[in-house]
């Protein structure tokens, strides 16, 4: 995404901050430096969950890639030692993390805020839950693939178009 945007003269509009493992800290990082009137969040997995919360809270848009729907339930099986996937930093996934995610869960969303992109072969999350949760949103469902969204490069033009469309 970074290279794609830079090639189009949009490098200054791209940001991908490393987020801390505690949900309230992650939200604070984003809200402190990255929420503007024309922001479009792009989030994958847990980032999609955060992007949903932030889009709803701030009236913005988000592109969701194989998003986590209810991490306070789905990640319970992973309690214990973990490593941040981007920084490699170790941390302990605890009940406190689950409680923080539960506080961020929004029972209702505004579908027009979202572009949902999922692959049916996601081995981590049930893509069907995302399709149901984001019913009414613009959706792209690709047969096969996996949690990393193997087809991501082919969606870059659509992601950019969605992010630049008239704000809500």
Phi then psi for residue 165, to 5 deg, are -65, 160
- The tokens for 156 are 């870059």
pTM: 0.92
Pairing assessment for the beta strands 80-83 and 90-93 based on DSSP bridges: antiparallel
Phi then psi for residue 108, to 5 deg, are -125, 145
pLDDT of the residue at 168 = 56
pLDDT of the residue at 42 = 97
Give the CA count within 13 Å in the CB-facing half-sphere of 66: 21
CA 8 to chain centroid, in Å, comes to 23
Domain carrying residue 134: 2-164
What's the pLDDT tens digit per position in 54-79? 999 999 999 999 999 999 999 999 89
Say whether pLDDT at 167 is over 80.
no
pLDDT of the residue at 89 = 83
Number of domains in the chain: 1
> Which is more confidently placed, 157 or 18?
157
Percent of the chain having pLDDT more than 70?
97
> Which is more confidently placed, 153 or 124?
153
- The tokens for 25 are 């800290």
pLDDT of the residue at 20 = 84
pLDDT, average across residues 149-167: 90
Q: How many residues does the chain have?
A: 168
What's the pLDDT tens digit per position in 11-35? 999 999 988 888 999 999 999 999 9
CATH number at residue 33: 3.40.50.1820
pLDDT of the residue at 166 = 62
What's the pLDDT tens digit per position in 85-124? 767 888 899 999 999 999 999 999 999 999 999 999 998 8
């Amino acid at each position: 995404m970074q290279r794609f945007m830079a090639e189009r003269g949009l490098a200054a509009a791209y940001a991908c901050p490393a987020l801390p493992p505690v949900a309230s800290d992650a939200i604070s990082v984003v809200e402190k430096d990255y929420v503007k009137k024309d922001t479009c969040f792009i989030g994958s997995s847990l980032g999609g969950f955060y992007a949903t919360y932030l889009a709803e809270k701030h009236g913005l848009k988000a592109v969701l890639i194989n998003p986590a729907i209810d991490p306070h339930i789905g990640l319970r099986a992973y309690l214990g030692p973990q490593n941040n996937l981007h920084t490699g930093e170790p941390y302990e996934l605890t009940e406190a993390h689950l409680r923080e995610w539960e506080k961020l869960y929004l029972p209702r969303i505004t579908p027009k805020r979202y572009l949902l992109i999922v692959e049916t072969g996601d081995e981590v999350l049930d893509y069907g839950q995302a399709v149901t949760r984001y019913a009414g949103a613009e959706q792209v469902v690709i047969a096969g693939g996996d949690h990393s969204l193997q087809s991501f490069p082919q969606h870059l033009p659509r992601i950019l178009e969605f992010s630049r469309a008239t704000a809500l």
